[in-house]
Chain A
Amino acid sequence: MKEKIIKLIEEVLKVPAGTITEDTMIEDVEQWDSLAHVMIIGQLEELGVSIPLEEAIELKGMRELLEKAGCE
């Protein structure tokens, strides 16, 4: 699941595979703007991962995202 989520995020951001890791912070990725963020949260729903609104807005990094998605 973790790999699936990372792959999905890399596709949405149109960045090369391997760019996103568990340690990635959102503010460090130029392509991860607010629209990209909405798209990622929306696409995650398709994988059955539903992060509540307020937590989704507050997300800072990948580790936290994977945690909310129930991967760790």
Chain B
Amino acid sequence: MTTGRLAVLSNVNMNMVIRMLQKNAQVYEAEGYGNELGTLLNPQSSYHAYHAEITFLIMDLAELLEHDLDPVTAEQKIGNWFRTLEGCLPQEGVFYVSDAYLWAVELAVLADTGRKSQLEGIWERELRNLQQKHANVRSFPYRALAEHFGEEKAFSPKMWYMGKVLWGMEMQSALAEQILYRAGLEYRTPKKVLVLDLDNTLWGGLAGETDHTPVVLSEDHSGLAYKNLQRVLKIMQSQGVLLTIASKNNEADAMEILEHHPHMVLRPEDFAAQRINWDPKPDNIRKIAEELNLGTDSFVFFDDSEAEREMVRQMLPEVEVPEFPARAEDLAPAMVKIYETYFAAAVITGEDREKTAQYRANAGRKQMEDRAGSFEEYVKKLEICLLPVDPKEHLDRLTQLLNKTNQFNLTTRRYTLEQMRQITEDTKKRVFLYQVTDVFGDNGIVAAAIVDTAGELPEITDFVMSCRVMGRNIENAVIDRIEQQMQEEGYTVLRGRYVPTAKNKPVETMYDRLGYRKTDSTPEGTCYEIVLAERPERAYWLKENLYD
């Protein structure tokens, strides 16, 4: 697992955790503890020389407050800490700040039982504010760990007295594990699609046999276990996981439950695609992948039948097939584990929250495509709008788009958030970022291009488009707008470039199609130029042009 260069800073002694981490990762050797802000503030510190990619600030609230539990003082102290942190927060790198768990022995005798959460609330509020302002700040779930073990196990007064080591050994191992897990999230590509079976998976029993036994899905007993599984899935779906169905049922029986069963948490609109029929599951999974325009290597398959799981493993070895829990009460926890193992992402963007709706709309577009007589007729019916958006306001999405797009990506350059920010502020660079909407809804921010004007000729250094909107001539409209702007700025020639990768074959001849002239071709890439005064007319259909 890649974790990058890590640093752990704290106001308590974390050397034991750091030693545990060193077995699996590169970790900065902190110079003592309790000077976490000083370390960040001092440009000469060994921390800065180390160039950490991910820094964890694990803070003990009681120490920070010096055990002064007065809320007014706490506001000041916590406020000061966060303001100092914000003042010296480097733009380079990711910062995890622990959320709050106040552990102080005297709290046990404090009559005001709400004080603990009141003080923790101040910290949480400040942390949320900081996260909203800085895209590279994340919250580290310290509190959940302390609660998992309980105070008696999580904290060790003896170790604290001996050497300012706050936690028991198990808690320290868990901290190290969580730090590694979070660091790993920054580097991995999460899976995108969860394929679900229905009978004995989303509910107990078999659909369509209601005359004999109704399906098991309810507010108690094992019915509740299935309902809770669905609750977990619903949250996953709202965070960007595409839920799909591959199930052997009569479709009408299954839909009856999906649409009308009073205890279904998931409804048909929560699924991005579905194949309810009697075909082999590997075939159905392939079809779902085609429909969503996603590779099966981003799929996870969840089914109670060992035979089905084995068949998918054999036929589609790239699909992840986790084991299915033997007991109903383990269903929801097993799904939590699946989420953590395959789907969890370091950051969840607004785009992720809308994903299912977008992919569902795509299925609708596919159907319209089948019905429409010609390609032109179909695209016109979509009433596409291409809306420019401010790259500075959507830095997260811009970075995500450039880093995650493989097929429609002319040069496949990857950027960190910080590099992206610098590009948007570079006066020599033009960043084009577009949102696409159509009659079926919002496709989100799906196209981006960067033009660099620093060289002898302006060059399109990056051009990407999400596969969601490919095949609608939108690139023709985007390139037209880029060329128009460059012309308005007084440039006469524009350069383009194609750098081949294993995955970007679909755009190999894009510049040729757009009327660009090849000027140079090597295995590393092909260079193109166009004289802007001689731009050809290109076919595309945007809503704004349809009715004039």
Contact = CB atoms under 8 A, between A and B. Distances in A.
A7 to B, nearest CB: 17
Contacts, number: 34
Interface string B1-43: 0000000000001011001000000000000000000000000
Contact of B158 (A34, A39, A41, A46): A41
A53 B161 contact: yes
B169 A45 contact: yes
A38 to B, nearest CB: 3
Interface string A42-65: 110110000001001100000000
Contacts of B168: 42, 45
Interface of A, secondary structure class, is helix
Contacts of B19: 39
Interface string B89-130: 000000000000000000000000000000000000000000
Contacts of A35: 13, 15, 163
Nearest to B161: A53
Contacts of B162: 37-38, 41, 53, 56-57
Interface in B57-111: none
A26 to B, nearest CB: 14
B169 A38 contact: no
B16 A39 contact: yes
B159 interface: yes
Query: Which of the listed residues A41, A42, A46 has the most CB atoms from chain B within 10 Å of its own CB?
Result: A42
B156 A42 contact: yes
Interface of B, secondary structure class, is helix
A53 B161 CA distance: 8
Interface residues of B, number: 13
B15 A42 contact: no
A45 B162 CA distance: 14
B169 A46 contact: yes
Contacts of A38: 13, 16, 159, 162-163, 165
Contacts of A34: 163
A19 B376 CA distance: 82
Nearest to A56: B162
A38 B13 CA distance: 10
A37 B163 CA distance: 9
Contacts of B161: 53
Query: Which of the listed residues B16, B156, B163 has the most CB atoms from chain A within 10 Å of its own CB?
Result: B163
A15 to B, nearest CB: 15
A36 B16 CA distance: 9
A43 B169 CA distance: 7
A46 B168 CA distance: 10
Interface string B152-173: 0000101101110100110000
Contacts of A56: 158, 162
Contacts of B158: 41, 53, 56
Interface string B431-465: 00000000000000000000000000000000000
B159 A42 contact: yes
Query: Which of the listed residues B16, B158, B161, B169 has the most CB atoms from chain A within 10 Å of its own CB?
Result: B158
A56 B162 CA distance: 8
Contacts of B16: 38-39, 42
A42 B163 CA distance: 10
Given A35-B13, A38-B165, A42-B156, 10 more contacts: A34-B163, A35-B15, A38-B13, A38-B163, A41-B159, A43-B169, A53-B158, A53-B161, A53-B162, A57-B162
14 contacts: A34-B163, A35-B13, A35-B163, A38-B16, A38-B165, A41-B158, A42-B16, A42-B165, A42-B169, A46-B169, A53-B161, A53-B162, A56-B158, A56-B162
The 7 A-B pairs at the shortest CB distance, nearest first, are namely A38-B163, A38-B162, A53-B158, A35-B15, A42-B159, A38-B165, A46-B169
